[in-house]
Amino acid sequence: MRVTTVLRVALRRISSRPFQTFSVVSVIAFSSGLAVALFLAASGLRLGLVNAVAPFDIAAGVRGSPYQLVLNTVFLQDVPAGNIPADAAQRLSDDSRVDLAIPVALGDTYAGLPVVGTTSAITDVKVKGVPWLRIKEGRFWDGAFEAVVGAKAAALTGLRPGDIFRTTHGSIGGEEHGTPFKVVGVCHSVHGPYDRAILVDIASVWAEHDHGGDGHESESGGEVTAMLIRPRSYADAYGLLASYQRDQSCQVVFPAQTAVRLFSIIGQGEEFLRAVVRSVAVCTLLTTILILYWSGASRRDERELLHILGVPHGALAAISWLEGTMLLSSGVALGWIIGRAGVAAAFGLLGNATAIEPTIPLSAGEISIPAALLAAGSIGAFFTALEHTSDRQP
């Protein structure tokens, strides 16, 4: 029997039962889509996290919780813990093991968005050799009371080069500072928390707090909330960590390590999701095989007829296998699209609200889900086909 005949019979079986085909393909699509979506959600959040942490090798801040330090400096969340004295900051900047030291002064906001006082050193940060913070519109500041706005911050506030704004001490509801800032530039997206930041010259922050004389315990001349540090080498990084182990004024942490630990505290989230993804995939597979088994079992008469017409058992098995594999592959392909589109839409909805920006680039892990389903499913279809063709009378 010719291959085209086998294919035609299998295709006809699928096309002549639109309702059955639709429901089978839907079941496979939704369950495999769920597996893909869960995987993408988990890996997307992790990638967002990795992206957020990537620019900063080392963070140094006042002694206390390393989590708070990383939340403050890398994710621009939570209330700053306190300041490190000017001399300690200076000592860090002068350390021979430090390649780049970026001071950050946190605590002020504009429209609920973090105002980050820093220096132009922040434009020297590179991720994988590529400049991290790039200006999209306007220029970087070169004077006091000039500001550069992150991509999401610009979108949320509508601030454009030339606009004037006043910062607030603390978060919303705090007291407004006197001197207005002038926006001089807008950044490209860094796909991380700094997209929500408004960057200003740290000297302006100091000036604001000094001459305000407001008596707050806040940044004044030379004090910084934290230092973001690029070491000269791995060895220097560990050297810094070791020498600040017992320092009274300062703690030094690796944000990547701290972030991973922080997120593993939140319920072993990813491990759990992975287990769920695997279970969903196994359920999809079992459902598919069950469906194929039953739809095949209901066609015993047709197989008997084809066999008596002179179709050999091999071709009968090929028809069942093709039918199953075609249903499976259309379901899995559809599921992949649904899963990906669903997660992309969900992440899009989260939009500007989140600190980290989850991304879902195509990965081997993602492809492995539909690929494994297809492989295991077509093997399952093969065995169901064999089972069915051997149920004839002896």
Ligand X SMILES: Nc1ncnc2c1ncn2[C@@H]1O[C@H](COP(=O)(O)OP(=O)(O)OP(=O)(O)O)[C@@H](O)[C@H]1O
Residues that bind ligand X (CB under 6 A): 393-394
Residue 282: closest CA among 30, 11, 113, 35: 35
Phi–psi pair at 160, nearest 5 degrees: -130, 160
Residue 301 beta carbon to other proteins: minimum distance, rounded to whole angstroms: 4
Containing 206, the helix (H) or strand (E) segment is helix 202-212
Choosing from 1, 7, 333, 386, the residue that interacts with other proteins (CB under 8 A) is 1
Residue 18 beta carbon to other proteins: minimum distance, rounded to whole angstroms: 11
Residue 55: closest CA among 244, 263, 229: 229
Listed ranges 193-201, 267-275, 301-309, 351-359: which one lies at the site for other proteins (CB under 8 A): 301-309
- d(Cα 262, Cα 105) in Å, to the nearest integer? 23
Query: For residue 32, how far is the Cα from the chain centroid?
Result: 21
- d(Cα 25, Cα 16) in Å, to the nearest integer? 14
Which is nearer to other proteins, 5 or 279 (by Cβ)? Answer: 5
Nearest residue to ligand X, using CB? 393
Contact status: 390 vs other proteins (CB under 8 A)? no
Listed ranges 201-209, 248-256, 267-275, 386-394: which one lies at the site for other proteins (CB under 8 A): 386-394
Choosing from 153, 311, 322, 343, the residue that interacts with other proteins (CB under 8 A) is 311
Return the structure tokens found at 168.
């607030």
Listed ranges 79-87, 173-181, 303-311, 330-338: which one lies at the site for other proteins (CB under 8 A): 303-311
Q: Are 196 and 150 contacting, i.e. CB atoms less than 8 angstroms apart?
A: yes
Kindly report the number of other CB atoms within 10 A of residue 311's CB atom. Answer: 18
Choosing from 94, 130, 173, 301, the residue that interacts with other proteins (CB under 8 A) is 301
Residue 389 beta carbon to other proteins: minimum distance, rounded to whole angstroms: 12
Residue 287: closest CA among 104, 23, 49, 2: 23
Mode of pairing for the β-strands spanning 181-187 and 146-149: parallel
Sign of CA dihedral 37, 41, 47, 52: positive
Which is nearer to other proteins, 94 or 301 (by Cβ)? Answer: 301
Which is nearer to other proteins, 248 or 393 (by Cβ)? Answer: 393
Residue 270 beta carbon to ligand X: minimum distance, rounded to whole angstroms: 55
Q: Which does 308 bind (CB under 5 to 8 A by kind): other proteins, ligand X, none?
A: other proteins
Choosing from 129, 310, 348, 361, the residue that interacts with other proteins (CB under 8 A) is 310
Residue 163: closest CA among 190, 188, 145: 145
Residue 284: closest CA among 159, 373, 164: 373
3-state SS record for 82-111: CCECHHHHHHHHHCCCEEEEEEEEEEEEEC
Q: Which does 248 bind (CB under 5 to 8 A by kind): ligand X, other proteins, none?
A: none
Give every CB contact of residue 174 below 8 A, 6+ residues apart in sequence. 109, 168
* CA-derived radius of gyration, the chain: 30
Which is nearer to ligand X, 12 or 392 (by Cβ)? Answer: 392
Residue 17 beta carbon to other proteins: minimum distance, rounded to whole angstroms: 7
Residue 15 beta carbon to other proteins: minimum distance, rounded to whole angstroms: 8
Which is nearer to ligand X, 191 or 388 (by Cβ)? Answer: 388
Q: Which does 306 bind (CB under 5 to 8 A by kind): other proteins, ligand X, none?
A: other proteins
Listed ranges 1-9, 110-118, 188-196, 208-216: which one lies at the site for other proteins (CB under 8 A): 1-9
Which is nearer to ligand X, 217 or 391 (by Cβ)? Answer: 391
Choosing from 3, 12, 178, 294, the residue that interacts with other proteins (CB under 8 A) is 12
Contact status: 318 vs other proteins (CB under 8 A)? no
- The DSSP output letter for 122 is G
Which is nearer to other proteins, 2 or 246 (by Cβ)? Answer: 2
**Residues 17-46, interacting with other proteins (CB under 8 A):** 17
Q: Is 48 exposed, middle or buried (0-12, 13-18, 19+ CB in 10 A)?
A: buried
Question: What is the size of the binding site for other proteins (CB under 8 A)?
Answer: 23
Query: Rule CB under 8 A: which residues touch other proteins?
Result: 1-2, 5, 9, 12-13, 16-17, 301-302, 304-313, 392-394
